Amino acid sequence: MSVSALFVEAGGIYPQLGVDSWDAERDGRLYTGPNPVVAHPPCKRWGRYWHGGPSARVRRLRGDDGGCFAAALHAVRLWGGVLEHPAASSAWEWHRMIPPEPGGGWTPADAHGWTCHVEQGHYGHPARKATWLYAVRTERPELIWGPSQSGVRLDHGYHSAEERARAKAEGWHRTGKRTTAAQNLATPPAFAQVLLAMARSVEAVPLDLTTLRKRASDTGAYDLDPWCGCGDDYCDDPGCYGRDDDDDDDRPSGHSIGGT
């Protein structure tokens, strides 16, 4: 079965493997099927440093990714497949998905899919790179659970410039190797193959929106993008931003890539 990879690098592992790849130029928000997907929506606005990080001069908005995560979630739910994001991503809470158990194993995330916590260090990444997966209508393989062994960090873990300065002044500044920006984004080939195998296991006929809505209604869960910015609890527009808690027109714009 053919698979499409959404929000990936033009020169990354998926194009190298000959997978139908949607980079920044093709724009994964515009994907309309019909293949199951592996989605790597950008994570900067959903992680620990969603506000821009300790040295940021401009404070960012949480979830300000131009609707990329909402589009990836829509594609996975409609066409089947798997979505990858950093562990502790606030996108799970934002979209009312139940986070996975930190020790590993697949657990229900919502009315549509399953989620798990896994570290890409087990699959060749130089850092541990703790990751959350969200899978819909795929096989759920037994992955390598638990902590991986790595002496390399994705970051030094400071929450502000003041914390970093205080650490240096008090002599407890964290040192050691850090991964590069390119390594942070990269998906190890072995892990990419795991995700592709999951997507290829999707049942041949995708569920239509009517079926998805009925499933959500039957289970009492929200469908597609709850708290949609347009005000429609059943919005099926993949370009919609998601939750908007006030009356301001603050939907973000622009597009960036997530994984490779």
pLDDT at 64: 66
CB atoms under 10 Å from CB of 15, counted, come to 16
> pLDDT averaged over the chain?
74
Q: pLDDT tens digit string along 76-115? A: 999 999 999 999 898 998 899 999 999 999 999 998 999 9
- Averaged pLDDT for residues 243-251: 36
pLDDT the model gives residue 156: 41
More confident residue, 211 or 137: 137
On the question of pLDDT at 253 being above 70, the answer is no
Whether residue 222 is predicted with pLDDT greater than 50 in this model: the reply is: no
- What 10-18 contacts at long range (C-beta under 8 Å, 24+ apart), as own/partner pairs, is 11/260, 12/185, 12/186, 12/187, 12/259, 12/260, 13/186, 13/187, 13/188, 13/189, 13/192, 13/260, 14/38, 14/187, 14/192, 14/260, 17/189, 17/192, 17/196
pLDDT confidence tier of residue 2, bands split at 50, 70 and 90: very high
% of the chain at pLDDT higher than 70: 58
Could you say which architecture CATH assigns to the domain 4-150+181-219? 3-Layer(aba) Sandwich (3.40)
CA–CA separation, 152 vs 10, rounded Å?
A: 26
Range 24-33 average pLDDT:
95
CA–CA dist 155, 174 (Å, integer): 10
Label each residue of 95-120 as H, E or C.
Answer: CCCCCCCCCCCCEECCCCCEEEEEEH
β-strand partners of 119: 130
**Predicted TM-score of the model (pTM):** 0.70
Query: What pLDDT score was predicted for residue 43?
Result: 82
Residues 159-209 pLDDT 10s? 445 544 554 565 544 444 556 766 667 899 999 999 999 999 997 545 555
Domain boundaries, the chain: 4-150+181-219
Of the segments 135-144, 147-156, 228-237, which one has the largest average pLDDT value? Answer: 135-144
Give the confidence band of 227 by pLDDT, cuts at 50, 70, 90: very low
Torsion angle of the four alpha carbons 112, 83, 140, 187, in this order, in degrees rounded to the nearest 10? 180
Instruction: Give the per-residue pLDDT at 66.
Output: 84
Question: 118 falls in which pLDDT band (50, 70, 90)?
Answer: very high
Residue 15 has pLDDT above 80, yes or no: yes
Exposure b/e, 106-117, CB count within 10 A at least 16 = b = beebbbbbbbbb
Residue 242 has pLDDT above 50, yes or no: no
